[in-house]
């Protein structure tokens, strides 16, 4: 079946380029140029993935994504487009529930690769592949993670994790206290098409803010240039 994408973008030139590149590849496209229109279309339609700009009239992309996740519990993959490349901006999008982000200007080939990675991740979850799809409850110290309910709790406080953050934490707690290599997490999130740069570090930063910052004892430990693990001697650098 063709893949159905919703493009929520108010820049006409970007929309024209996306249509020209993606339609010949077999994608079925629909678009919205206004944030509130995009939210309505996302809720009423059945889309395999949403490509969402941050800066939109009426309702910004971060608020739109947060509304999808928190108010309507939508699990459709969201790829966020942003002109800002600071860690704070990326974390803000991920905390709202975006699965991935791409900084403008971007190569159309990379955008399509990111879309395919999100779709592949969704298929793995649907058929039972990958740690986030396994049934059961895992615990480490005062942390518990329930895959069936897609919930993580520490000291009675439910953690608000993005879909990618939950997958990372599921892999870490399943392996704890053993080390999980960076390459393993990158493959978990993006398959064989992991983006260059700090994409994984941004997800780790967002996960650490929720998992460790509110608590006296950190759990997420970085092994520089190697990977990450859950440990009662966690450190603060991503």
Question: For the residues 196-210, what does the mean pLDDT come to?
Answer: 85
Boundaries of every domain in the chain: 4-127, 131-230
Would you state the structure tokens that stand for residue 110, as one six-digit string?
């990379």
Place of tokens 């990977």: 227
Compute the C-alpha angle 9/192/238, nearest 5°: 80
pLDDT tier at 94 (50, 70, 90 boundaries)?
Answer: confident
Sequence-ordered list of residues with C-beta below 8 angstroms from that of 36, at least 6 positions apart, any chain: 58, 59
How confident is the model at residue 42, as a pLDDT? 93
Higher pLDDT, 125 or 76: 76
Q: How many residues appear in the chain? A: 238
pLDDT, the chain, mean: 86
Asked whether the predicted pLDDT for residue 127 surpasses 50, the reply is no
Q: In the structure, what pLDDT confidence band is assigned to residue 207 with cuts at 50, 70 and 90?
A: very high
DSSP letters, 108-131, are HHHHHHHHHHHHHHHHHHHHT-SG
- Each residue of 136-186: pLDDT tens digit? 688 999 999 988 778 899 999 999 888 888 889 999 998 888 999 999 998
Query: Tokens 């991920």, residue?
Result: 94
CATH of 4-127, picked from 3.20.20.100, 3.40.47.10, 3.40.50.700, 3.40.50.2300, is 3.40.50.2300
* φ/ψ (deg, to 5) at 169: -65, -40
Give the residue-averaged pLDDT of 108-125. Answer: 80
162, 149, 184: which is closest to 79 by C-alpha?
162
Helix (H, G, I), strand (E, B) or coil at 199: helix
Q: Which CATH architecture group holds 131-230?
A: Orthogonal Bundle (1.10)
Residue 133 has what pLDDT?
A: 43
What is the reported pLDDT for 83? Answer: 85
Hey, what are 125's tokens? 């979850």
pTM: 0.63
Residue 136 CA, distance from chain mean position = 22
């Amino acid at each position: 079946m063709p893949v159905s994408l919703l493009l929520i973008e108010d820049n006409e030139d970007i929309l024209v380029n996306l249509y020209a590149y993606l339609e010949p590849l077999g994608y079925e496209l629909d678009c919205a140029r206004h944030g509130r229109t995009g939210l309505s279309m996302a809720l009423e339609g059945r889309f395999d993935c949403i490509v969402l700009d941050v800066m939109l009239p009426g309702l910004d992309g971060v608020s739109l994504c947060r509304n999808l996740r928190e108010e309507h519990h939508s699990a459709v993959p969201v790829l966020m487009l942003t002109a800002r490349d600071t860690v704070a901006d990326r974390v803000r999008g991920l905390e709202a529930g975006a699965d991935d982000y791409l900084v403008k200007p971007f190569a159309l080939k990379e955008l399509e690769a990111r879309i395919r990675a999100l779709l592949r991740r969704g298929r793995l979850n649907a058929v039972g592949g990958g740690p986030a799809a396994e049934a059961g409850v895992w615990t480490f110290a005062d942390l518990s993670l329930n895959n069936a309910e897609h919930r993580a709790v520490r000291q009675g406080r439910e953690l608000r994790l993005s879909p990618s953050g939950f997958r990372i934490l599921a892999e870490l707690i399943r392996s704890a206290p053993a080390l999980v290599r960076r390459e393993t997490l990158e493959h978990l999130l993006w398959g064989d098409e992991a983006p260059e740069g700090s994409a994984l570090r941004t997800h780790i930063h967002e996960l650490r803010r929720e998992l460790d910052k509110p608590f006296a004892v950190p759990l997420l430990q970085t092994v520089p240039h190697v990977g990450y693990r859950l440990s009662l001697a966690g450190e603060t650098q991503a």
